[in-house]
Amino acid sequence: MQCEECGKKPATVHIIKIENGAKTDMHLCEQCAIEKNPINLKANFSVQDLVAGLLKSGNKGPFKVDIVHEAKCNVCGLTYSKFKAAGKFGCSNCYKVFGDRLNPLFKKLHGNIIHTGKLPNKAGSKIKLVREIEKLKQELNTAVMNEEYEKAADIRDKVRELNSMEQEEHNGQLD
């Protein structure tokens, strides 16, 4: 498919705009998507930022740009596209608001999405229990693999005990 704006280059960006319930599709080349910015939005939100962010992220096209839901932090006001452009969060609540869509970024930067290091002393006892259970489960696997069944049984008992503690903790929090 050719670009609907210039008609010369192949369309690699697919923009879906939903305004007042009416849906418009646009197929553009990267250049037109960035330079011509053909969609007039009422808000001061720039498609340019969003597309530039996507292009920078190194994904291979064609891109699908969904303009309907723009995540915005309710504490500091940072939008997801602004975050993509600047690369910095505005406050700790941004992490919650942007949620799982950050996972590919964390994967790219760190190869991981779960913290395994230090916990503040004030951190809930629940997370400490969960950590302990995870650790024991790994030990259990090793014990089974090494055919150390007696040791495995001991560890299994411990895991059960900690699991019920975690359950109590959970119920306690619900009260």
Partner 1 sequence: MGSWIKDDGPNNNIVLSSRVRLARNLSNVPFPAMLTKESSSDVIEKIYDEEMRNGVFKEYKFYNMQDTGFVDRYALVERHLISPNLAAQNSIGAVLISNDEDVSIMLNEEDHIRIQAVLPGLQIKEAWNIASSIDDKIESKVDYAFDDRLGYLTSCPTNVGTGIRASVMIHLPGLNLSSNINKILQAVMQVGLTIRGFYGEGTEFIGNIFQISNQITLGRSEEETVDNLTGITEQILNKEKEARGLLFDNNRIMLEDKVWRAWGLMTNARSISGQESMKLLSEIRLGIDMGILKRIPVSVLNKIMVDTNNASLQKSAAKELNTPERDILRAEEIRKLLMQ
Which spans of this chain sit near partner 1 (rule: CB under 8 A)?
Answer: 75-76, 78, 87-93, 95-96, 102, 105-106, 109-124, 126-127
Q: How far is the CB of 135 from partner 1 (least distance, A)?
A: 12
* Nearer of residues 38 and 90 to partner 1, judged by Cβ: 90
Where would I find the H helices in the chain? Answer: 30-35, 47-56, 80-86, 92-98, 103-110, 125-145, 149-174
Burial status of residue 79 (CB atoms within 10 A of its CB: 0-12, 13-18, 19 or more): buried
* Shortest CB 132 distance to Zn ion, Å: 32
CB 58 → Zn ion: shortest distance, Å? 21
Q: How far is the CB of 33 from Zn ion (least distance, A)?
A: 8
Phi (first) and psi of residue 16, to 5 degrees: -110, 120
Q: Which is nearer to partner 1, 13 or 83 (CB)?
A: 83
Task: Indicate which of partner 1, Zn ion, none lies near residue 29 (CB less than 5 to 8 Å, by partner kind).
Answer: Zn ion
Q: From partner 1, Zn ion, none, which one binds at residue 116 (CB under 5 to 8 Å depending on kind)?
A: partner 1
- Give, in order, the Cα–Cα distances in Å from 53 to each of 34, 83, 90: 10, 9, 17
Cα–Cα distance measured from residue 112 to residue 105, given in angstroms and rounded to the nearest whole number? 10
Binding site for Zn ion (CB under 5 A): 3, 5-6, 9, 29, 32, 73, 75-76, 78, 90-91, 93-94
**Minimum distance, C-beta of residue 76 to partner 1, in the bound complex (Å):** 5
CA 13 to the chain's CA centroid: 22
Residue 114 or 174: the one with the smaller Cβ distance to partner 1 is 114
Decide: residue 162, CB within 10 A, 0-12 exposed, 13-18 middle, 19+ buried.
middle
